[in-house]
Every structure is written in C-alpha cells, then in structure tokens.
C-alpha cells in the first residue's frame, strides 16, 4: 500500500501537466496582452509580422485569451469544433500581430473554451477591446526603465473597473513582457487565481520605445 501511495505521489506532477482536457471545462479567462516593442526586439526580431512593422506603432497586442482553472490551466483540449480557416486566422492579425499567432492560440488555448473557432476569435477580440490600453504607452518614443508597478498603475487608471487583484504585470529577461487581466466567462473583471498573481517586482524593467 505504501508503495502504491508513493507511486501516486511521483506521478501527480505529471498528471497536473497533462494535456488534452475536455473542452469547456474551465473557471475563468486570462487575457494576455504582450508589449509588442519588447517582443519584436527579441523573439520577433527575425519575423516578418505586422506587429513589428514600425508603421503600425503597435503597443500592447493580444497575445491570447486563455481558459484557466483556479489553479493551473487546460491546453490542447479535446473538441469537436473545426479548426479555423486561414481567412479567419488572418482576420485576427490586426489585434494579434499575425495569422500564425492566432492559429497557435486557437490550437493550444482556444480549443479549451468550448466554442467554435469563429466564436473563440470573436470572444478574444471582444475581451481585448474591453480593456483600454493606457494612452501614455503609445507616446513612448524612447527606451525607458521603470518599476513594473508603474505599468500596472497606468492600466488601473485607464480602467477604473479593474482592481489590483485582477491584473498582473510580467517581466522576462529584464523587460516588461505582458499585462494579464483575469475575466469571467462573460468577460467581466474578476480576481485572478493564486498561481496567476505573480507581479513582476523589478524596479528598472526595460520598456522599449514604440517604433
């Protein structure tokens, strides 16, 4: 009996990271907004995508709308919904930066929403449009270093319905990475799960200029 219990404990982390969950079984959405100038300076430097075109002046773009559990999240879920057409994915380029990004988000996260591809894309767009991107960031014409908390404060000021436990700012490699906002299935702000509230505490995070 002890051996069986030990085996279960050893396998638990693997089961917690399992993929292919049932579509539609989740607790809330996590809206992820990526700071485009930072991504374009690193991961996107060699990619020919719309969000990295200086003519577009991209600031925070839609990274994804992710179904979440109160702890953890599903991915690559089982669903009978058909995959989106190329045209449907391409139509998301204006908010997601590229059709490839839209397709990947559907494949990993969208299938878990229990929606058709068309409805998932529409829901992701509606979630993105429900958040006001602070205007100050569109005027950022030089690279700056600042506390990540300043970015959060700007979002809270621009979105009075948001509270501190409903948004988190993340950093990566010393840079401002994302603003993540927790939403109900009806796209209303709600408290984030404990594993999601992980504010970046950097006081000198790099925020690249909008080019």
pLDDT tens, residue by residue, 92-143: 999 998 899 999 999 999 999 999 999 999 999 999 999 999 999 999 999 9
What are the structure tokens assigned to 107, written together? 């494949």
pTM of the model: 0.87
What are the structure tokens assigned to 11, written together? 């396998």
pLDDT tens, residue by residue, 30-80: 999 999 999 888 876 556 677 787 777 789 999 999 999 999 999 999 999
pLDDT category of residue 157 using cuts at 50, 70 and 90: very high
């Amino acid at each position: 009996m002890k051996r069986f219990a030990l085996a279960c404990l050893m396998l638990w982390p693997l089961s917690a990271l399992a993929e292919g969950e049932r579509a539609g079984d989740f607790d809330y959405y996590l809206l992820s907004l990526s700071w485009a100038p930072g991504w374009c300076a690193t991961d996107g430097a060699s990619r020919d995508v719309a969000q990295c075109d200086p003519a577009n002046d991209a600031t925070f773009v839609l990274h994804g709308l992710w179904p979440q559990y109160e702890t953890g999240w599903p991915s690559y879920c089982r669903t009978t919904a058909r995959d989106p057409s190329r045209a449907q994915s391409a139509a998301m380029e204006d908010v997601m930066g590229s059709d490839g990004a839209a397709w990947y988000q559907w494949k990993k996260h969208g299938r878990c929403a229990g929606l058709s591809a068309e409805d998932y894309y529409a829901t992701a767009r509606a979630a993105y449009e429900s958040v006001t991107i602070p205007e100050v960031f569109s005027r950022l014409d030089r690279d700056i270093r600042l506390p990540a908390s300043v970015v959060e404060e700007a979002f809270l000021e621009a979105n009075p319905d948001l509270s501190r436990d409903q948004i988190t700012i993340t950093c990566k490699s010393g840079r401002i990475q994302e603003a993540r906002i927790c939403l109900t299935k009806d796209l209303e702000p709600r408290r984030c799960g404990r594993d999601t509230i992980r504010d970046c505490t950097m006081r000198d995070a790099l925020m690249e200029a909008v080019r």
